[in-house]
Amino acid sequence: MVMLRAPSRLQQFEGLPIIVVFALLLALFMYTAPQVFLQPFIYTTFLSTLPPLILLAVGLTFVIGAGEIDLSFPSIIAFSGFVFAVLFKEYDLGWLAVLAGLASGLIVGLLNGFLVARIGIPSFMATLATQFFWAGMATVLSGGKSYALRGADTTSVWQWIVGRPFAGSETIWIAQVPIQSLWTAIIAVLLWFILNRHRFGEHALFIGDSNAVSRVVGIDVEREKIKIFTLMGGLAAVAAIMLTLENKNYFGNQGQGYLLTAIASVLIGGTSIFGGRATIIGTMFGCFIIGMIEAGLVATGLTGAWVRTVQGLVFLISIIFYLYIDEPQRRNAFFARMRSSRPFGRTRAAG
């Protein structure tokens, strides 16, 4: 009997472990907070609160899959949100404001890509710096003000981006279904195809696997990295516009809560922190879990203060899980360290 050195059908089921965890968690919350989780309203609420997180996390799936990191997206949300809000409110530019907001995110992403790929700054440092820079820019330009977009819901921009297409429905929860959930789903599906079926996605994964191998097989590593950071910037801008419109308000720190939740969603989903392996489906369920923990704990009767603690714990457990399942060499190295520490202790005792 030859040992099969290929993934089994079960292993090829994308995101399976995380889907199982999601189902268990959902069942748990249905049990602990049936008044919330057995009603449809919580799910329509998710449809309006999760899209920005999902867009960011899906973009980060490419970035992390390529072995890089982007810490600047909360500031892109602040900056692009500001560009959009000021043009939309003060200059009444409507769809042009949307385009300008999107363009600002793409440009910030492009600059990140340039710093990382052409100048060669490690992405952790480069995007940490640009995170401060663009948040600062947004504060300077807005003078620290927030922009209330009162009456925005009568505009076609609002209707098309965050409208309620079934607002006339008799059933309340159907009337509340927000259209951004549809746009987010379309973008996520498209990006799934790009990551798994498109040349660009394959290049991202090879770059994450090894820059040296990628160069040898003829991938333009620098150009692809710039594209990845630009994509991330664009998605953060879309998230910013959705957030600003959904809240009918722009405020400077509206992106801050997303830094860790988005990164956690990606890694919980099974994308490798070391690059080379990435899963959009995993990321989606990672987002569902992160979003659900918040609502679930509060509905179960714990205070909001517990939310971050539990999210952090889930994050940690999943990272260790993937390390053990998918990185056998790291697992072995861990056990080797454990073993080597014992003889060391004996030697000291003997001496």
Partner 1 sequence: MTESNLAERPPEADYRHIVRLQGVQKFFGAVQALRDIDFSVGRNEIVGLIGDNGAGKSTLIKVLTGVLSPSSGRIFVRDQELDLTDYSVRMAHDLSIETVYQDKSLAEKQPLWRNFFVGRQITNRFGFIDIRRQKQIADQILKHAIGFRGVGITVDSTVANLSGGERQGIAIGRAMHYKADLIVLDEPTVALAVAEVRKVLDFVRRIKASGRACIYIEHNLAHVHEVADRLVVIDRGAIVAEVSPKDMSVTELTEYLIDLQHEP
DSSP 39: S
Contact call for residue 59 and partner 1 (CB under 8 A): no
Joined together, the tokens standing for residue 249 give 């308000």
CA distance linking residue 202 with residue 195, whole number of Å:
6
Name the residue nearer to partner 1 (CB basis): 81 or 276: 276
Q: Which of residues 301-340 bind partner 1 (CB under 8 A)?
A: 328
Please report, in angstroms and rounded to a whole number, the separation of the first and last CA atoms in the chain: 49
For residue 70, the tally of other CB atoms under 10 A from its CB is 32
Residue that is written with structure tokens 């609502």 in the block: 295
Bridge partners for 250 per DSSP: 147
In the complex, the smallest distance separating the C-beta of residue 65 from partner 1, rounded to whole angstroms, is 10
Shortest Å, Cβ 226 to partner 1: 17
17 vs 257, beta carbon nearer partner 1: 17
* Cα distance between residue 148 and residue 283, in whole Å: 32
CB of 203 to partner 1, least distance (A): 8
Place of tokens 């340039």: 114
Please choose, out of 5-13, 142-150, 228-236, 240-248, the segment that lies near partner 1 by the rule CB under 8 A.
Answer: 5-13
d(CA 339, CA 11): 30
Binding residues among 180-219 for partner 1 as defined by CB under 8 A: 193, 197-200, 202-203, 205-206, 209-210, 212-219
Closest distance to partner 1 from the beta carbon of 4 (Å) = 5
Q: With contact defined as beta carbons under 8 Å apart, do 227 and 203 qualify?
A: no
Q: How many residues bind partner 1 (CB under 8 A)?
A: 30
Among 3, 119, 305, 349, binds partner 1 (CB under 8 A): 3
Local structure of residue 273 (DSSP, 8 states): T
Binding flags for partner 1, 79-98, as an x/- string (CB under 8 A): --------------------
Positions in 246-285 near partner 1 (CB under 8 A) = 272, 276-277
In the bound complex, what is the minimum distance in angstroms from residue 271's beta carbon to partner 1?
12
- Shorter beta-carbon distance to partner 1: residue 70 or 209: 209
* Widest distance between CA atoms in the chain: 83
DSSP state of 154: G
DSSP state of 153: G
Determine contact, residues 269/282, Cβ cutoff 8 Å. yes
- Residues near partner 1, by CB under 8 A: 2-7, 12, 193, 197-200, 202-203, 205-206, 209-210, 212-219, 272, 276-277, 328
